[in-house]
Every structure is written in structure tokens, then in C-alpha cells.
Amino acid sequence: IGLDIQDDLGRHEVGFVENTVKTPLGDDGCLFEANFLINKVPGNFHVSTHSAEQQPENIDFAHIIEEVRFGSKIDNKNVPGNFNPLYGRSKIDGNSLESHDYVMKIVPTIYEDISGNQLISYQYTYAYRSYISFSHGGRVVPAVWFRYDLTPITVKYHEKRPPLYTFITA
């Protein structure tokens, strides 16, 4: 299993291994973790066996997503938004030959706390589809794709204290 990264600026890294961890989970697969930077242009990253010298038979990309995040982590529960909408997304039933495609729209987001400190993060929404690919030579190796595009707008959240008079008059 490996990570491939591509974007519209020409970046194309097959078998990206920097900051990746694969932890075997017995016969049931593995836990795959990766941290990497992307350019602020449309692109994709995908988990596949494309970089393997020898392709395994009947690879199954059933999966459970723990986290897909862009930018700083915002833990404030009072901030609305979709900073990790794929959390807990599970695709464990279906055809083992399926590829999975998550298409994400990313919205740059700035969170400014009461002290004026800013965190830059990104919210996103996604659409999902699965499919079985074939080429002229037969079946194409399945993968889990994350395709993304950034929106041209930025959302900014400001943390503010209520004025003192609201406590006096309440």
C-alpha cells in the first residue's frame, strides 16, 4: 500500500513514503497514516498499490476513515463547520474490486481567538462514488482517491466576549 500525490502544477509523486506509517492489523488489513503538504491548486492523493513492484491478487480497499484534515486543527466546539466530515466514514461492504472516489471542495478558513491569535485551517465538503475500472488490458488496480479543489472564498471566524451590560440586564 502506498500514497500517490498529483496536482495541476505538475507534481506527481508515486509511492510517497515521507511521514507515512503502515501498521499491520493481522489478516484484516492495516492502519495507514500520512502527513504531507499539498499545493493550493486542484489535485488528488490516493492510496493504492500502484508503486508495488508486484501487484497483489484481489486487493480489497474496504476502509474506515479516521481523519482527513487540511491545515491547523481547530478543537473549539463553538466553531461551526466541516473540518473533518469524513471522520468515521466507513466503506467495508461491497465489491473488493471497487475503487473509491472522494471529491472534496476545500474552503480556506481563519479562526481568530479572543486574544487575536489566528489559526489557518480548511473546511471541506465531499461527494462519494465507487466504481470498478477496466482498461483495454483488463482490470485496473483499485484505489481510494481523494480529489480536491479549493474555493476562491475564505471564511473567517472571530471569537468575541459578550458585552458586560448583557450580564447586568439579564
* pLDDT the model gives residue 54: 67
Select the more confidently predicted residue: 167 or 159: 159
Residues 49, 97 contacting (CB under 8 angstroms) = no
CA–CA separation, 132 and 92 (whole Å): 15
- Residue 169's H or E segment, with its range, is helix 165-169
* pLDDT the model gives residue 139: 65
What are the sequence ranges of the domains in the chain?
2-169
CA–CA separation, 28 and 9 (whole Å): 37
Q: Which of the four pLDDT bands, split at 50, 70 and 90, describes residue 53? A: low
Select the more confidently predicted residue: 26 or 136: 26
Closest CA to 99 of 140, 51, 50: 140
Average pLDDT, the chain: 88
CA–CA separation, 95 and 73 (whole Å): 34
Mean pLDDT of 40-50: 92
pTM of the predicted protein model = 0.85
Specify the range with the lowest mean pLDDT, choosing from 25-29, 46-50, 107-111, 115-119.
Answer: 25-29
Mean pLDDT of 89-118: 92
Q: Cβ–Cβ contacts within 10 Å for residue 74, how many?
A: 19
Mean pLDDT of 117-145: 87
Q: Angle at CA 81, nearest 5°, toward 78 and 85?
A: 120
pLDDT at 34 over 80: yes
CA–CA separation, 105 and 19 (whole Å): 24
